[in-house]
Every structure is written in structure tokens, then in C-alpha cells.
Structure 1
Amino acid sequence: MNNKIITAVLLLLFTAGINQAQAQLFKKLQQKLEDKVDRKVDGMINGKKGAGTTAEGKSSKPMPKLEEVYSFVPGSTVYFKDNFASDKAGRMPKKWKSSGGGSIVTIPDVSGKWLALAPRTTYRIDSILAMPGNFTVEFDILTRSTQAKDMGPLIFGFARDNSGRAYMNDAYNDNAIVGTQLHFWNEAVNNASSDTQINTNLDFPLSNYANTTIHISMSIEGEDMRVYMNKIKLLDTRMFKAHTLKYFFLSGPYSYEAEAMAYFGNFVISKL
């Protein structure tokens, strides 16, 4: 067989191989396209998922990065502590006051006693106990709801006085200084200070917190403040003017939907 014939045969075989590979590639691309269309049609039939959630109903927002070293250290000396152990169910706890109401309850399958946070109500320690210069605060928030977004924003922080008459829902009114708001509806945490004009928003997958215990840790050293939620840092910056008096407050959500409820407990203030 001469060289021309051999070359022609090899070229024919090579071309056939390319055509077969192209056919297989085209088939794969066609299948991917059909799968994508099928998923889109299924979504239209079943209804679109809510923004920010996955098909399983959990938040698609990423969790803020954990600190490589959890730097929160509780103060060495307890300054004030209350777990409501001696308080009667159905009554306001003896060491606290509120702008509207509240009652001690027990929760099935959860240990201890809890303060049910009434809507549009602010809670304070019932004394003129001002915070020390350097201190830590820890407490738990227990949530119960069908969806986390059934709860309005919950806020905690510090004010310049200990008046219990007003409902405090930000860091700017009624002598408030700083406030951390947990926005369950739009999955964000807001930290604000009327002293230092700080006002920041942090995306946080709060839709995952419909039925859980949230542990809050705060460290205040002079003018600086750090806030953690379940060991995730939410804030670390200057939030107070020098020599500012500070009184703790916690405000229940403005409203609840579908029998949602938030509870408060295990409160500890310690000196650094």
C-alpha cells in the first residue's frame, strides 16, 4: 500500500474519532441543559423559595467566621447574678423591673426558669447598680417559633440611667448609649452607639435560630466593647465616651407572630 493511501486511511480514522468525541460532548451539554430547564420548571410549579433560604428552609447566608481563638474571658469576680431560681412562676422576677410586664415560666425539656419577654417591653435590673469600669456580661436567649422571622427585632445594650418607664428599641432615644439588635426577619445584626456614632450591619443567618438557645457574651473595657453570639464575634470597637455611666437593658421584640416567643435567663455580670 502506497504512502498516499495510508495517509488517507489515517486521516479518515482521525476525523471519525473527532466526530464521535464531538457527538458525545454535544450529548452531555444537551443533557445538562435539559436538567437545568427541568429544575426551573419544577421551581415554577412548586413556587419560589423565600429569599435567603435553601430548599430545606435554612438560611443560605454564610455564618460569620469564628475567631481562631475565642478571646472572651469572663470576669473573675461576680458582680450581679440571677437565674430566677427563687422567683415564682407567673410573676415578674424580684430583682428586675420592666416598662410593661413579664413573667417567670418553665419550658418543657429545658432546665431552669426563664423570663418571658413581653412585646414592646424593656427590662432592667431593679436597683441603681451602675456597671463597674471593666466588666463582662453573659446571658441566654431562648427562642420558640415556627419560623425565626415570626419574631421582631430583639435589642440589648446600655443606657445612661436606669429608668424603667420607656420601651427602648435603639441606641439613640430615652438616654440609650449602645444597642445590639438581632433582626430575625432580614437576618442581620445591627450594632449602634450614640456616643461614638458607630452604626454597622452584619449579615447573620438568624433564620436558623427559630428554636434554640442563643448565648450572648459581652466584654466592656473602658470605652471599648466586644459582643459575641455563640462564640461568634459581632462587635469589637470603641462604643462609649470616656467615664460614661452604663446601665444594662434588654428589650423584647416589638411584636410576635404565630405564637412565637422569646425568653431570657442565666444572667451574670462579672468584674474584670
Structure 2
Amino acid sequence: MKTKLITFIVVAFLGIQANAQLLKKVGDAAQRGVERTVERKVEEKSEKETGKAMDSVLNPNKKDKKKSKKEKSKKSKEDKPIIDNTGNSSAKTVKSNSDFVPGGTVIFSDDFSQDAIGDFPAQWNTNGSGEVVTIDGLNGKWLSVMHNSIINPVMDKALPENSTIEFDLYLQANNQQSTPFIQFGLTPVRDILKEDMFYRNRFFINLHRYSEKDGQTLEYGLKNDVIGNKSDFPLTKYANKVLHVAIAINKTRIRLYLDDNKVIDLPRALTTDMLNNFFLNNNYLIPASEIPMFISNVRIASADVDARSLLIKELMDNGKTSTSDILFDVNSDILKKESFAVIKQFGDALVQNQSLKIKIVGHTDSDGSDADNMELSKKRAAAVKNYITENYAVVGSRIQTEGKGESQPVAQNTSADGKAKNRRVEFIKL
């Protein structure tokens, strides 16, 4: 073994002599560094490590170059803002290029926060079964809907002919199980317990499975006939992630947006009676889906009357106005994107009328302590002001802010509807 080691040492030093001219160009400091490397490697006790020493002499920069590339690549990835599957950036809010605009007047909303785990939610109807659950790694509560079950929100009247529907789907997937065949759409049927939807002239959209095992298809149609499909939207990308669904209805026209991508735009697809009800279905196809359908954050709004313009009229005529359509994340001052269209009206009004000055007042419901609600209401008022000054040519000195917490309710805090009315933002003309 010693003989072999001496042989490699001799070869190593012969290599140094053969490359003397190259080392001289590198410089004395670099040469000493290479020699120290050789000496260190010579002390190693195996042929393999001695071979590495020779390699470091003959190719002194090879390892460093590879390391540099790896470090550069790592730094490049670390420098990018983290974006979650809902499209939110950890760095700064990115404005969407989508032309979807949420309706201004909310007529139904539910995030199941008022329902107990294990119960079927109070604001919904079903002909099957489901329960409110939580999902590891996701915020809030979700409605889990079992196979062959239809659900629909309970509303007093049909949808307006100009309206929007939004909700989140969690597309759980496990290659050992069949994923749901999810269907949603519009139907004339008002009571799904008493009347079979299957034979009625409904409009439907199918997410025809979404895992690599099952493949992907998005279909749409009328009654039982598929009239079109889309294969270019990457449904499989959303397996075990949240997909945001948005629907815009304009009389006979329907547009579908999946995570802000417009997927369907049909100008003559709907009839008036289809607006009687909105439904979702963990479909009846065989074999049965072994994984539930999960839904949350439902928002249905009217776009018939531009209530936002009426807010500005009320502000100018009466000196103040109030809205519950400016929404925030739960117990947070982070604005939801559906609030931007409402705030835009105030931003535009301030830009058009340079003499206008306003006070923004935040209000909360009674959940939580008085002190926490007071602080939250102040932060929410400030968040609305900041959005206006950051997105419109309006100086901050024209806007004052104040928080009232839960001290000035306009409805009882004993119901979800009353609490929603109390969570409002007030605008006062100065």
C-alpha cells in the first residue's frame, strides 16, 4: 500500500512540474494554494482520495465553477417572491389581468365560520350528505360533500340577470382513490329535495376528474348534452390545491374564470329560468368518487344596479355613506380582491373632485374583545386609505381615518347576517 501511495505522490509532483508554466501565470499566491492542496491530499490514506488530489491539481477551477453555478441558481430561486396556489405573492399584491369584476351588492356569502364542525351548514340545502370540516394546511372551514350529493345555497329569490358567483374548490387527490366528478351550474329547480334536476334544462360545467391517474377534462353543456370541452386548462396542476372559480352572468351570457383565467365565454347559453338556482354536485357517475368535494368562501353578488356609484351619490348628497362590501381576511386588515372595485369608486371620486376630503371609519362586529376590535377597526380604515393613496393620485392629507370597533352596531350581533352588516366601512365627507 505504501509503494502505491509513493507512486501516486511522485506522479502528482511530476504533474506539478509539467504544469509549472500554467501555475506561474496564475501567480505565486495561487501556486502556493495548489501546493498546499496537494500536500493535504498526500496525507490522505486511500488511493481514491489521492486521485482526487491529482484532479484538483490538473483542474483547479472545475469544482469552484460548478459550485458557483449551483449557488447562483439557488440565489436566483430565493430572490423570487413566493406565490401560493391562489395567486398571492409574498412580496406585493399583483393586479390580475382578468376582466372579471365581482358584483357590488352581496346577496349571499358563506365561509362556514358560523357552522359547527361535523354539521351540514345552515344556509345550504342538499339531497344527499355533507359536513363542515377543517383541512390540514388550509385556513378556515370547508364543506365536504359526499358522492351523489347535490348542494345549493338557500336564497329567497332567483339570481339577478346580471350577477357573479365565486367560490373555492379544494381538489383533494390520492392516486389510490378516485377523485370526484365535480359539476356546478344553473338550474330552474328551486327545491332539489322535491324535484329531479336531471331532466330539466340546466346549464352545467364539469371538472371531469383532475388527478394524473384520472386525467383531466373540463366540459360544459345544456341539460344532459355536452356542447363543448376544454383540455388546455391544467386541472392536474391543482391536485391537492385550491382552485378559485368565478362565474359572470349577463342575461343570456355566461363567462367562467378559473384562477383568473377566462375559460368559457358563451353569449347565448342561458335562459331566464336557469337563474332560479345555483348548484354544485359531487356527481352520480359510476364508479363512485371515493374522495369528497370540498367547497368554501362562497360569494354571490348582484351586478344589476351599480351600488358603488350610488355610494358616491349618497356621499355627495348626504355627506356620508356606508358599505359592507369592502371585505377583509378574517381578523385581519388585509383587503380581499373583491373589495377593489368598490374602493375604486372612492378613488375615482377623489381624483375627479380635487376639493373633496373624506374620513374613513372602520367598524367591526362584537366577536372578540372591545380593545382588539377597536384596534382592528383602525387598521382596516387605514388599509382602505393606503389602497387609495397607493393606486390613485390622491395625497394622504385628504383622507382621515378612525376606528369605532364594535361600539356603533347597525344590526344585532346574534346572526351571521347581522354581524356582516356591522363589519362595515363608513365614508364621511369633510
Pair 1:157-2:185 in alignment: yes
Aligned partners of 1:148 and 1:239: how far apart in 2?
Answer: 37
Mark the CA change 1:96 to 1:224 in structure 2 (over 3 Å): closer, same or farther.
same
Q: Which residue does the alignment assign to 1:256? A: 289
Pair 1:193-2:218 in alignment: no
Mark the CA change 1:244 to 1:181 in structure 2 (over 3 Å): closer, same or farther.
closer
Opposite residue 183 of structure 1, the aligned amino acid is H
Q: Which residue does the alignment assign to 2:238? A: 209
Opposite residue 245 of structure 2, the aligned amino acid is I
Opposite residue 151 of structure 1, the aligned amino acid is T
Q: Deviations over 1:11-67 (max 9, x none)?
A: xxxxxxxxxxxxxxxxxxxxxxxxxxxxxxxxxxxxxxxxxxxxxxxxxxxxxxxxx
Aligned partners of 2:159 and 2:277 also within 8 Å: yes
Aligned partners of 2:199 and 2:223 also within 8 Å: no
Aligned partners of 1:189 and 1:158: how far apart in 2?
Answer: 17
The Cα of 1:176 is off from its aligned counterpart by 4.5
Pair 1:89-2:120 in alignment: no
Alignment RMSD, CA only? Answer: 2.5
Of 168, 171, 175, 2:200 maps to 175
Aligned partners of 2:144 and 2:295 also within 8 Å: yes
Aligned partners of 1:89 and 1:105 also within 8 Å: yes
Opposite residue 132 of structure 2, the aligned amino acid is I
Aligned partners of 1:90 and 1:208: how far apart in 2?
Answer: 29
Q: Which residue does the alignment assign to 1:21? A: none
Pair 1:119-2:150 in alignment: no
Q: Report how many aligned residue pairs link the two structures.
A: 199
Opposite residue 230 of structure 1, the aligned amino acid is D
The Cα of 1:167 is off from its aligned counterpart by 9.8
Q: Which residue does the alignment assign to 2:170? A: 142
Aligned partners of 1:125 and 1:183: how far apart in 2?
Answer: 23
Q: TM-score, normalised by structure 2?
A: 0.43
Normalized per residue, the structure richer in helix is 2
Fraction of identical pairs, as percent: 28
The Cα of 1:148 is off from its aligned counterpart by 9.9
SS at match of 1:182: strand
Of 98, 102, 107, 2:135 maps to 107
Could you list the runs of 4 or more consecutive aligned residues of structure 1 that deviate by over 4 angstroms after TM superposition?
none
Opposite residue 193 of structure 1, the aligned amino acid is L
Of 242, 254, 272, 1:225 maps to 254
Opposite residue 101 of structure 1, the aligned amino acid is S
SS at match of 1:124: strand
Aligned partners of 2:245 and 2:259 also within 8 Å: yes
Mark the CA change 1:187 to 1:198 in structure 2 (over 3 Å): closer, same or farther.
closer
Mark the CA change 1:207 to 1:252 in structure 2 (over 3 Å): closer, same or farther.
same
Q: TM-score, normalised by structure 1?
A: 0.67
Q: Which residue does the alignment assign to 1:267? A: 298
> Max radius of gyration: which structure?
2
The Cα of 1:175 is off from its aligned counterpart by 2.2
Normalized per residue, the structure richer in strand is 1
Opposite residue 252 of structure 1, the aligned amino acid is N
The Cα of 1:133 is off from its aligned counterpart by 1.5
- Structure 2 runs not aligned, ≥5 long: 1-95, 304-430
Q: Larger relative CO (CA 8 A, sep 6+): 1 or 2?
A: 1
Aligned partners of 1:153 and 1:167: how far apart in 2?
Answer: 22
